[in-house]
A and B are shown apart, each in its own frame.
Chain A
Amino acid sequence: MRVTGNRMMELAQAAVSRNQAKVGELAEQVSSGKRVAIPTDDPAAWVQGRRAEMRMALSEGATKVLDRAHDRLEFADGMLESMAEIVSHVQTLAVQGASAGYSASDRALLGDQVAGMLVTALGNANGRTPDGEYLFAGSQSLTAPFDAAGNYTGDTIGRDVPTDENTVVGETVPGSILTAAHGVDILPLLGRISTALLANDVPGLQATLGDLDIAVSQLASARTRMGVRLSLVDETREAHGNLTAQLTIEQSRLTEIDTVDAAGKLAQASNGLEVSRAVSASIAAMLKSAIG
């Protein structure tokens, strides 16, 4: 085929431009670490990468929510543990007070002690989170759920939080677990024991002992439920940690470069550019000498 001097020069210049563009593209990939920097680099990979990013955002959001749920459940469990200790202590005092060896004044002292414990238990039951919500109020979380007598005024709606689009885990336990709906009204029970002790009402005191047994197992059961929830929250949190890691790897696979491979390609392209420049220069020299 007949090839003119102009054509040779054009082809050589086109080769230089092409190789320059290739080197530029690879250099940008190597320096940024991104294979897909803009959607047109690889539309399908870009969309999949973004989809992974969306799932990652939801998973990271779930981890934060689960951290918070963990803290809340742990806080609530601490309150229940304290109440369980109080009830257990009150049970001991009630058994002592019910024994014949105790005088009225001894019982009055015990009654004062129980009254103090009731105040502490009430404080626990009306415990608040750092952001001001009452832990055991159900959905009525801006109102103290137990009145001074220990009667529950909240509702039975526990709060769940989403761990993904379709799954939730419980974050709160309503104060109804401390009421007759789940055994006995624990706080009023403490009030009745205190009153009986102060009033030296031994038959009345003896009548509460059975309820105290129920209260002890009621709190144990509540704590077990709390433990189960905590464990579920922790497992879910761990699963989200793994999912986030997997999604990060997936996103990286889709949109990032293999540095070693890209560096090799860059070296190849740089060599190609040098060669095409040399060819271009030699064609120019050849044409010049032909005219001379």
Chain B
Amino acid sequence: MSNLLSLMNTGAAAITTQNAGIAVASDNVANINTEGRTRQRVDMEAVSGLGMFGGSVRAVGPQRYADDLLAGSIRSTAGSLSMSRAFAAALDVPLSELSSGKTIDQALSDLYAQFQSLSASPTDTVSREATIAAARALAEGIQRRAEAVDAAFAAAQERIEANTSDVTSLAKQIAAANAAVAKSGDPVAADKRDLAARKLAELVGGQARIDPDGQMRFTLDNGAVLVDGQRAAKMETTPTATGSRIEVVDGANRRDVTTSLTGGKLGGEVAARDQALAGARAQLDQLAFDVATNVNAIHRTHAALDGSTGRDLFVQPTAVAGAAKALTINTAIEDDPALLAVGTVGSGPGDNAGAIAMVSLSAQNVGAGGRTLGDAALDVIGKLATASSEATTDAETSEVLANHLDGLRDSISGVDTDEELASLSQFENVSRALMRFVSTCDSLLGSLIESL
């Protein structure tokens, strides 16, 4: 009788084990659309009984179908992909502002064309007014573009600040998940930790590794530690004269990571802000300064209709920095077109040497980098467009890789309804057989009791 009771225990334990399998399969299906979900499974392990009989089975797990090496590659690719996308996106609006409407190169071209036209009728008031209007349009065009670049710079700055607080929040989530994994080995906590690490990599690049103690450590590319086991550092921004500094703060320690953020959305925003947009701003300032300086140099040495000389056409910027936003034309000339100076000093009002000199300025390499002013204007857009286009190509490449890696992850960790339904059916059949077994034992036991 004692053997029959033992057999019933075996059957009951086996049913419990199969139920665990049913529960995990159901859980897999229930979470099929949960972001970051990793497929789980229950392993069966035989349990020895007393003597030759009475053994049973027990559930081991649930185990996660996960590949840490693959997860690392996915995080790394996600960091590169978000960096490229963020960089290209940060340049979209300023590029559109720089290249829409009458662009700076076109406004410059118009100014040369007006001087060309004025050279044929230097005393004509209408032509003089048109030339002044072209100069004003050029100054306003440069000013408007400089403001657009500044606005994009400020927007990137705001996004950087928002992203740094997200970094702090994700680092805390990883540390909390580390604590949960250490406490109970909870696979859901491990899923959440992987997901948070992927999101963090999307923000800052960097690397995460699982140490032998099962804890995740997340470091940035320059070695700054964001998460060390259950300890999370913060990320903060500190305003500077040129934008802001990004620091990893761990207690009293602060580490500047601004220039070493080489991945993630934050890396893309910083590169867009500190390289592309700061570069465009510097180029616009240099262009404005060069336009004013060279046009003024010609204008100053030529004579107005009344013979007077020595005036600037543009208000001469005092320094390169800030020249683009400050570029305006001389109001005295704007008010009196006769003061536009295109004649040789000492000659009559019909002389046009200054206008010819302005036209030949169009071919002179007086702009930044030994280029013409027109080419320097085109270079502002060309550089931004090239950087954006390269980032888009990089993003496309990373996207292909990311898709491939996602496929690999799916092949290991993805939940498939067909498989889970098959598992459910398998566990259900085994459970049904076990119930029949228990029922048989029960009736045998009943018969035995009745016969006593």
**A interface residues, Cβ below 8 angstroms from B:** 1-7, 10-11, 14, 38-40, 42-44, 46-47, 50-51, 53-54, 57-58, 60-62, 64-65, 68-69, 131-133, 137-143, 154-155, 157, 159-162, 164-166, 168, 171-172, 287, 290-291
> What are 7 pairs between A and B in contact, CB < 8 Å?
A7-B411, A40-B389, A142-B349, A143-B348, A157-B351, A172-B350, A287-B417
Residue of B with least CB distance to A46: B385
- Asked whether A7 lies within 8 Å of B414 as measured between CB atoms, the reply is yes
Q: A40-B385, A138-B350 are in contact. Are A61 and B117 (CB under 8 A)?
A: yes
- Asked whether A155 lies within 8 Å of B348 as measured between CB atoms, the reply is yes
Contact among A2, A44, A166 with B363 in the assembled complex (CB-CB below 8 Å) = A166
- Asked whether B347 lies within 8 Å of A53 as measured between CB atoms, the reply is no
The complex places the Cα of A14 from the Cα of B410 at a distance, in Å, of 15
Which residues from chain A contact B362 at a C-beta distance below 8 Å?
A: 54, 58, 165
Contact among B99, B112, B347, B386 with A38 in the assembled complex (CB-CB below 8 Å) = B99
Of B103-111, B157-165, B278-286, the one contacting chain A is B103-111
Assess whether B352 is interfacial by the CB under 8 Å rule.
yes
- Asked whether A3 lies within 8 Å of B121 as measured between CB atoms, the reply is no
The complex places the Cα of A291 from the Cα of B424 at a distance, in Å, of 13
Q: A1-B407, A3-B410, A40-B389 are in contact. Are A162 and B119 (CB under 8 A)?
A: yes
Contact among A4, A164, A168 with B410 in the assembled complex (CB-CB below 8 Å) = A4
- Asked whether A4 lies within 8 Å of B414 as measured between CB atoms, the reply is yes
Assess whether B214 is interfacial by the CB under 8 Å rule.
no
Which residues from chain A contact B116 at a C-beta distance below 8 Å?
A: 58, 61-62, 65, 161-162
Chain B nearest Cβ from A14, distance in angstroms: 7
Assess whether B435 is interfacial by the CB under 8 Å rule.
no
- Asked whether A6 lies within 8 Å of B95 as measured between CB atoms, the reply is no
The complex places the Cα of A138 from the Cα of B346 at a distance, in Å, of 13
Contact among A4, A68, A157 with B120 in the assembled complex (CB-CB below 8 Å) = A68
- Asked whether A139 lies within 8 Å of B392 as measured between CB atoms, the reply is no
Interface of B is mostly: helix
The complex places the Cα of A141 from the Cα of B122 at a distance, in Å, of 10
The complex places the Cα of A190 from the Cα of B415 at a distance, in Å, of 111
Interface residues of B in 332-389 (CB under 8 A from A): 343-344, 347-352, 355-356, 359-360, 362-364, 374-375, 378-379, 381-382, 384-386, 388-389
Residue of B with least CB distance to A287: B417
Assess whether B16 is interfacial by the CB under 8 Å rule.
no
The complex places the Cα of A24 from the Cα of B364 at a distance, in Å, of 42
Which residues from chain B contact A137 at a C-beta distance below 8 Å?
A: 348, 350
Chain A nearest Cβ from B137, distance in angstroms: 14
Which residues from chain A contact B112 at a C-beta distance below 8 Å?
A: 57-58, 61
Q: A6-B32, A51-B375 are in contact. Are A57 and B121 (CB under 8 A)?
A: no
Which residues from chain B contact A172 at a C-beta distance below 8 Å?
A: 350
- Asked whether A140 lies within 8 Å of B350 as measured between CB atoms, the reply is yes
Which residues from chain B contact A291 at a C-beta distance below 8 Å?
A: 417, 421
- Asked whether B416 lies within 8 Å of A4 as measured between CB atoms, the reply is yes
Residue of B with least CB distance to A142: B349
The complex places the Cα of A173 from the Cα of B134 at a distance, in Å, of 30
The complex places the Cα of A132 from the Cα of B125 at a distance, in Å, of 11
Which residues from chain A contact B348 at a C-beta distance below 8 Å?
A: 137-143, 154-155, 157
The 0/1 profile, CB within 8 Å of A marked 1, for residues 85-110 of chain B is 00000000001100100010110111
Residue of A with least CB distance to B364: A165
Assess whether B450 is interfacial by the CB under 8 Å rule.
no
- Asked whether A159 lies within 8 Å of B414 as measured between CB atoms, the reply is no
Assess whether B124 is interfacial by the CB under 8 Å rule.
yes
Q: A140-B348, A155-B348 are in contact. Are A5 and B417 (CB under 8 A)?
A: yes
Which residues from chain A contact B360 at a C-beta distance below 8 Å?
A: 162, 165-166
The complex places the Cα of A57 from the Cα of B117 at a distance, in Å, of 12
The complex places the Cα of A137 from the Cα of B414 at a distance, in Å, of 91
The complex places the Cα of A161 from the Cα of B356 at a distance, in Å, of 7
- Asked whether B350 lies within 8 Å of A39 as measured between CB atoms, the reply is no
Interface residues contributed by chain B, number (CB under 8 Å): 61
Chain A nearest Cβ from B38, distance in angstroms: 12
- Asked whether B119 lies within 8 Å of A141 as measured between CB atoms, the reply is no
Q: A7-B407, A38-B99, A287-B417 are in contact. Are A54 and B363 (CB under 8 A)?
A: no
Contact among B382, B384, B418 with A290 in the assembled complex (CB-CB below 8 Å) = B418
- Asked whether A171 lies within 8 Å of B120 as measured between CB atoms, the reply is yes
Chain A nearest Cβ from B243, distance in angstroms: 24
- Asked whether A4 lies within 8 Å of B415 as measured between CB atoms, the reply is yes
Assess whether B76 is interfacial by the CB under 8 Å rule.
no
- Asked whether A133 lies within 8 Å of B389 as measured between CB atoms, the reply is no
The complex places the Cα of A169 from the Cα of B411 at a distance, in Å, of 76
Residue of A with least CB distance to B105: A50
Which residues from chain B contact A51 at a C-beta distance below 8 Å?
A: 374-375, 378
- Asked whether B113 lies within 8 Å of A58 as measured between CB atoms, the reply is yes
- Asked whether A5 lies within 8 Å of B416 as measured between CB atoms, the reply is yes
Chain A nearest Cβ from B112, distance in angstroms: 6
Residue of A with least CB distance to B357: A162
- Asked whether A65 lies within 8 Å of B117 as measured between CB atoms, the reply is yes
- Asked whether B109 lies within 8 Å of A39 as measured between CB atoms, the reply is no
Beyond A6-B32, A141-B123, A142-B348, list 13 extra A-B contacts (CB 8 Å).
A3-B407, A6-B415, A40-B389, A42-B389, A51-B378, A54-B106, A64-B117, A65-B116, A68-B120, A132-B123, A137-B348, A141-B348, A171-B120
Assess whether B73 is interfacial by the CB under 8 Å rule.
no
- Asked whether A139 lies within 8 Å of B382 as measured between CB atoms, the reply is no
Chain A nearest Cβ from B114, distance in angstroms: 8
Which residues from chain A contact B32 at a C-beta distance below 8 Å?
A: 6
Chain A nearest Cβ from B197, distance in angstroms: 21
Residue of A with least CB distance to B408: A1
Which residues from chain B contact A171 at a C-beta distance below 8 Å?
A: 120
Which residues from chain B contact A40 at a C-beta distance below 8 Å?
A: 95, 385, 388-389, 392
Which residues from chain A contact B259 at a C-beta distance below 8 Å?
A: none
The complex places the Cα of A61 from the Cα of B168 at a distance, in Å, of 60
The complex places the Cα of A69 from the Cα of B121 at a distance, in Å, of 10
- Asked whether A7 lies within 8 Å of B410 as measured between CB atoms, the reply is yes
- Asked whether A131 lies within 8 Å of B121 as measured between CB atoms, the reply is yes
Chain A nearest Cβ from B30, distance in angstroms: 14
Chain B nearest Cβ from A72, distance in angstroms: 8
